[in-house]
Structures are given as C-alpha cells and as structure tokens.
Structure 1
Amino acid sequence: MAMAEPRVVVPLRRREEKRGAERFEMELPLTVANGQGGITRDVSLSGLSFTSRQPYVVGEHIDLTVDYLLDGHSFPLRCEAVVVRCEPADGGFTVGAKLTTAFLE
C-alpha cells in the first residue's frame, strides 16, 4: 500500500452519535503482528478502524502498531485490541477494533 500523508479531520459531534468517545478521521500506516499492513480510517480513545487486505474474525485479539509521524519523527503507538467488526470494502476489508491497551514505544 502506498504511504499516505498523515491527515486528521476533526468533525463536529452529532447528536445521534451513540459512541462514548469522539472519533477522528486519520490516515496513518499500521502493522498488525501477523505482518499484514493497513491504513487507519478513524481513531478514538476507545478504538479504531482500518483497511486491510485480509479479513479478521470478530472477537479475535490483535496486536498492532500505528506509525504516527510528527515533525519528521516516528512515534509508534503499540495497541492491543479486539476485532468488533470486519466488512468487505474496495479490494479488501474495513476492520473495527476496540482498544484494550495502547502505549508509545
């Protein structure tokens, strides 16, 4: 997958939104412990969604690292998560995951 320039969009909160944490659209590269790569679609305090070439099973525990770049420096964010959804999307899958642990390396 081609590396995209990091992009953050801060949306206005919608009244009908039922999630407890605000989501931010972010396109950042990530790597899952199984060696597969992807790109985040959005991130919140409690979870994230990302694109993947392979499907994941709902309930599956995954370890992933999001590569956050700031001023030319890489800040890898290592996360442990549980897959909550996996849907077919353009040439791959959109995966939603609930974070269980996250820390900077």
Structure 2
Amino acid sequence: MLATAVLVFGSMAAMLWIFRKESKRCPLNTLPDTLERIYESQLALEAALMEVALWVEQGGSADVGENMRSTLDLIGENVGHIKQGLAKLTLQHRDGA
C-alpha cells in the first residue's frame, strides 16, 4: 500500500507540475480541471487495486485481500468530500474568472 501511496503522490506532483507549466500556454487547463483528473485517476487506481485484491483472495490469500479491501475503503469514504471540494473550487474559479 505504501508503494501505491508513493505512486499516487508522485503522479499528483507530476500532474501539478505539468499544470503549472502548461497553464501559461493553455488557459483551458485550470486547477479544478487538473484536480478532477487526479480524482478520476484515484478512482481508476482504486478499481484496479480492487481487481488485484479479488485475484489475491481467489489465490488463497484471504488475509492479504481483506487488508487491501480495508485500506481501499478509505478512498470510498473520501469520495463525497473530494467531490464537494472540487465543486466548490470549480464555482470559485468560475466566479473569479
């Protein structure tokens, strides 16, 4: 799970670096848009890791699969908060533009 967290954090850092670099050239690349893509990537990673958890469980490692599922629950718990934050940020960005 630590490797996944490092991968996600590294991906987010890379996306924010690209955003800063590209935002000067392309005004459509807004921070809310970039954060929305990070959010979508997070959900895709959750789905992929869930598939791995199911595969691990089918291979006879129920404990490992259950540990993966319990840590993935955190993503599900945060979905609503993330979506609300993105919606507020998008509104603020539109009002300020």
* Larger helix share, 1 or 2: 2
Look at both structures and tell me which one has the larger radius of gyration over its CA atoms. 2
TM-score under structure 2 length normalisation = 0.27
* Larger strand share, 1 or 2: 1
Q: Which has the higher contact order (CA 8 A, sep 6+)?
A: 2
